[in-house]
A and B are shown apart, each in its own frame.
Chain A
Amino acid sequence: MADELEPLGRSSEMKANNHVVIIGGGPGGLAAAKTLARKGVSVTIIDENPDLGGQYYRRRTKGTTELVGDYRVDGTHLISSVKKLGCTILTDSYVWGISNDKRSLLVENSLLGKSTRVNFDFLIVASGGHEIQYPFTNWQSTKVMTPGMLSRLVTVDAIEPNGRRAILVGSGPFLLAVTSHLIDSGVVVDGVFELTRPYRLTVFSMLAVFFPAKCAQFLHYRFKLFSNGVKLTQGSRLRSVQDSYDGITATFDKRSGGEQVVVESQLLGVGYGFKPNSEVLEILNVERGESTSFGHFYPRVDRYGRTSQQNVFAIGEVSGIEGFKSAMVGGVLSGQRILRDIKGVKGFASMYVTLVHYLRSIYEELFAKFLKKLYRIDLEDFPLLDPEVLLCRCEGVYASELDGVLSQCESDMAYVKAETRIGMGLCQGRMCGTALGIIVKKKYPKSISPGFSIRIPFRPVAIGSIIALESEENRDYIDG
């Protein structure tokens, strides 16, 4: 680890070389790194996980690989080619803030318990997103997790989940992909419950005409569900989960009818799509793009992922486009754009690569927009919380405590926070922030995108780690 950190000391040298820092070592970040590093640009990749790969190309541990083989081999190739190109790789490293001059990232290495400044001339934010939760009665049960976690358990970790049955709840195409993974691993899926109503015949026809390849993939998932007897229910709202001796009982409200559906299973995966990990972009004050019903922060970007700040790019999930393929397309495009900025690289091959990816990115964006419309969640889709629902898990705040506060807050979430302590705990509103935003917006439909403001550190950091920056800063001043 120490060896990998060492190049940071050469910060001034990097500056002269137009140093590119990439946050996130997933498919997008890797594609960008490869594009840049093969042309000799100095690249640093920062990733909070022990190895590169992100969510999609997450690496198996050595032991698991020996036992069951490699996982997603194309990811293994991509990662090793990036490593061979000599990129500086900071794994187990988390960006928790940005310097006052907005030219360096404050990065903690969680193994060393020490923070360091990473200077950048160009920044590519490929930090992905995290799954959105909406509370329900007893959502704190240990048998409730996110679809991503369920999927990871059975694929990357090759673990047989505790119990061999599961229900999937939420919204988005990701639910179908996870269901498919679970079925492949021998898990019996007791039902898939989609909040919206996307699966209609007209949709299929449009998909078949405009996105035939994507349609084939979808039909593949649908067929797998069908042939394994997995029932797909649309328009149902999860109301509560009860723990039983060896499993759970989930209760759903039917939106139209009103009769309740009760399903028994052993595990429940629930997630309503992804919230972008946009802290860095927000604190850099890049301009906001289109607003969404959830009030997520998506930056305004051009085709290359360039934000309103010339040297800051955003690609993949954090720019609002789902899927590893489009993230990789975005990675190549942002890389090409930066190459043109710093080296003026033209050349036929480079232009060809740019053109191909440019067209591909138009296609991916069209599809992403199609999906967004298809799975569009209206805030009315979410039920009002029962009073006994635990809303903020860190500080132990129940939905009943919102009574009175909500009617006085005038959509000011900071006021709700101050009155109730919602979002003041360890996760800093990461879990409950989106849910509270939904609740507030249901109450004040005209309000603009409520959300907690971004504070440093983005995640808790030991004070000793932070003050390690003091001496380093002095050194920088002396050098500079």
Chain B
Amino acid sequence: MVNSDVIIIGGGILGAALAFELTKESIGVQLIERSSISREGSGATAGNLHIQAVHTRRPGQVIALDNVRLLPLQIAASRLWDVVEEELPEDIELRRTGGLTVAESEPQGEEILLKRRHEIEAGIPGEILASDEARRLLPELGDSVQLAEFCPLDGYVNPLKVTPAWMRAAIRQGLTLRTHEEVLNISKVGSSWIVGTSNGQYACSTLVIVGGPWMDRILSMVRVSIRMNPVAIQMHVTERMAPRLPFLVQHIAEGMSIKQVTAGQIMIGGGWPAQNLALGKTSDVSVESVIGNLSQAVRILPFLRNVRLLRSWSGALGATADEMPIIGEVPGLEGLFVAGGTYAFTFAPLWAKTLLALILRRTPEVDVSDLGVGRLMNIYKSKTSGG
């Protein structure tokens, strides 16, 4: 059996960021990943950094998220991303392009004005733009745009670069990375957690589950059931083109995000649902979502009509039942932590720092007590009850 202070289950962006923070403190860490690193949601995501308040529902999302609650977390995450870029030796293609959120109707405009007030309270910079001002900033905007908000902190990171970069840096600091190993069982012996995988057994005093949509499946190994609502959403990317779109463009009322990345391609997303969720396999891209997402994109940025779509793909999103993030220690199971839920990509450096603080029994910089595991636990099955 191989012992370490901490075992992390899940080789996505949260696992990599946390491994980096822990190893920086000279804590011994093993990270176990079922396939290759960054192969699921962390690799499939658009990679947006959402700092201004987000729209509250993906297409088809039943429960709206509380976007005001997220604001202090977003500004904290924003500050940390600047540090990430300095700390990592590799170029992660972090670009603070600034982001526009557009409204196409009066009620939508009201919503932007309201969210702006909340952002001011949270200390998030931004500016409300009337339609002509918005068009002066971005002449490509379509006629239907009536009002917009510009936030200079919005941007993106290349998701294909950041997780591997974090992971490599953590390895240099002493991380033991185990890929292509599936966790089969978890047990607690005394104060140690024992993790059994397809390749062996490992022990630790602190276990962290950052398995995205697999989180509840892994938690079921310790007889914990939480209410998750994982979905597969899809992304679209065009051919490369000369720089034309300098900002991240979003919609206040609909799932939509459009940006031109460093490679020159335009990424179009917004959380439109794939046909199904096939965990561990490829979820089928929905043609109806392709058409829906691209139609709204052309409405807001008409020049896209003549750009060729190159590829579409799907990725699993480990959303919780209340569509909010989840982070903290599992009640009753000392030394077992989880993190995940919505906007985990934007929050990655913040969740890494927060988990580090919680593991070391320090007070985290942001209050996450209301985002703990307890609110989502269905039934807590004690070991003696047997099922």
* Contact assessment for A98 and B287 in the assembled complex, using a CB-CB cutoff below 8 Å: yes
Stretch at the interface among B17-25, B109-117, B290-298: B290-298
Number of A-B contacts (CB under 8 A): 90
* Contact assessment for A463 and B309 in the assembled complex, using a CB-CB cutoff below 8 Å: yes
* Contact assessment for B291 and A415 in the assembled complex, using a CB-CB cutoff below 8 Å: no
* Contact assessment for A419 and B160 in the assembled complex, using a CB-CB cutoff below 8 Å: yes
**In the complex, which residue of chain A has the Cβ closest to the Cβ of B292?**
A470
A463-B238, A464-B306 as given contacts; A415 in contact with B311, CB under 8 Å: no
* Contact assessment for B239 and A426 in the assembled complex, using a CB-CB cutoff below 8 Å: yes
* Contact assessment for B294 and A463 in the assembled complex, using a CB-CB cutoff below 8 Å: yes
A415-B36, A463-B294, A464-B298 as given contacts; A410 in contact with B179, CB under 8 Å: yes
Shortest CB-to-CB span from A440 to chain B, Å, is: 13
Q: Which of B39, B282, B304, B308 contacts A460 (CB 8 A)?
A: B308
Complex interface: chain A residues within 8 A of B312 (CB): 455-457
A426-B239, A466-B291 as given contacts; A456 in contact with B160, CB under 8 Å: no
A418-B39, A456-B285, A462-B308 as given contacts; A473 in contact with B179, CB under 8 Å: no
Complex interface: chain A residues within 8 A of B164 (CB): 419
Complex interface: chain A residues within 8 A of B120 (CB): none
Does any Cβ of A come within 8 Å of B43's Cβ?
A: yes
8 A Cβ contacts from B297-324 to A = 297-298, 304-313
Shortest CB-to-CB span from B240 to chain A, Å, is: 8
Does any Cβ of A come within 8 Å of B365's Cβ?
A: no
The complex places the Cα of A408 from the Cα of B39 at a distance, in Å, of: 13
A412-B39, A467-B294 as given contacts; A100 in contact with B306, CB under 8 Å: no
Complex interface: chain A residues within 8 A of B38 (CB): 418
Interface centre among B239, B275, B284, B290 (most CB of A within 10 A): B290
A100-B275, A463-B297, A466-B309 as given contacts; A410 in contact with B291, CB under 8 Å: no
* Contact assessment for B310 and A426 in the assembled complex, using a CB-CB cutoff below 8 Å: yes
* Contact assessment for B309 and A412 in the assembled complex, using a CB-CB cutoff below 8 Å: no
Give per-residue flags for B9-47: 1 if the beta carbon is below 8 A from chain A beta carbons, else 0.
000000000000000000000000001101100010000
Interface centre among B38, B160, B297 (most CB of A within 10 A): B160
Complex interface: chain B residues within 8 A of A414 (CB): 39
**In the complex, which residue of chain B has the Cβ closest to the Cβ of A410?**
B180
Complex interface: chain A residues within 8 A of B304 (CB): 463
* Contact assessment for B295 and A100 in the assembled complex, using a CB-CB cutoff below 8 Å: no
Shortest CB-to-CB span from A159 to chain B, Å, is: 29
Q: Which of B43, B239, B285, B298 contacts A455 (CB 8 A)?
A: B285
Complex interface: chain B residues within 8 A of A460 (CB): 239, 308-310
A418-B39, A426-B239, A463-B294 as given contacts; A99 in contact with B310, CB under 8 Å: no
* Contact assessment for B307 and A462 in the assembled complex, using a CB-CB cutoff below 8 Å: yes
8 A Cβ contacts from A439-480 to B = 453, 455-457, 460-464, 466-467, 469-470, 473
Give per-residue flags for B40-74: 1 if the beta carbon is below 8 A from chain A beta carbons, else 0.
00010000000000000000000000000000000
Complex interface: chain A residues within 8 A of B309 (CB): 457, 460-463, 466
**In the complex, which residue of chain A has the Cβ closest to the Cβ of B43?**
A418
**In the complex, which residue of chain A has the Cβ closest to the Cβ of B286?**
A100
Interface centre among A99, A426, A428, A457 (most CB of B within 10 A): A457
The complex places the Cα of A463 from the Cα of B310 at a distance, in Å, of: 10
* Contact assessment for B305 and A462 in the assembled complex, using a CB-CB cutoff below 8 Å: yes
A418-B38, A463-B305 as given contacts; A469 in contact with B291, CB under 8 Å: yes
Complex interface: chain A residues within 8 A of B305 (CB): 462-464, 467
8 A Cβ contacts from A42-101 to B = 97-100
Interface centre among B38, B43, B287 (most CB of A within 10 A): B287
Does any Cβ of B come within 8 Å of A118's Cβ?
A: no
**In the complex, which residue of chain A has the Cβ closest to the Cβ of B35?**
A412
Does any Cβ of A come within 8 Å of B288's Cβ?
A: yes
Complex interface: chain B residues within 8 A of A469 (CB): 287, 291
The complex places the Cα of A408 from the Cα of B313 at a distance, in Å, of: 23
Shortest CB-to-CB span from A14 to chain B, Å, is: 20
Using a CB–CB distance below 8 Å, which chain A residues touch chain B?
97-100, 106, 408-410, 412, 414-415, 418-419, 421, 424-426, 428, 453, 455-457, 460-464, 466-467, 469-470, 473
> Would you list 15 pairs from A and B whose C-beta atoms are within 8 A, ordered by A residue?
A97-B290, A409-B36, A410-B179, A410-B180, A412-B39, A418-B38, A426-B239, A455-B311, A456-B285, A456-B290, A462-B309, A463-B307, A464-B298, A466-B290, A466-B294
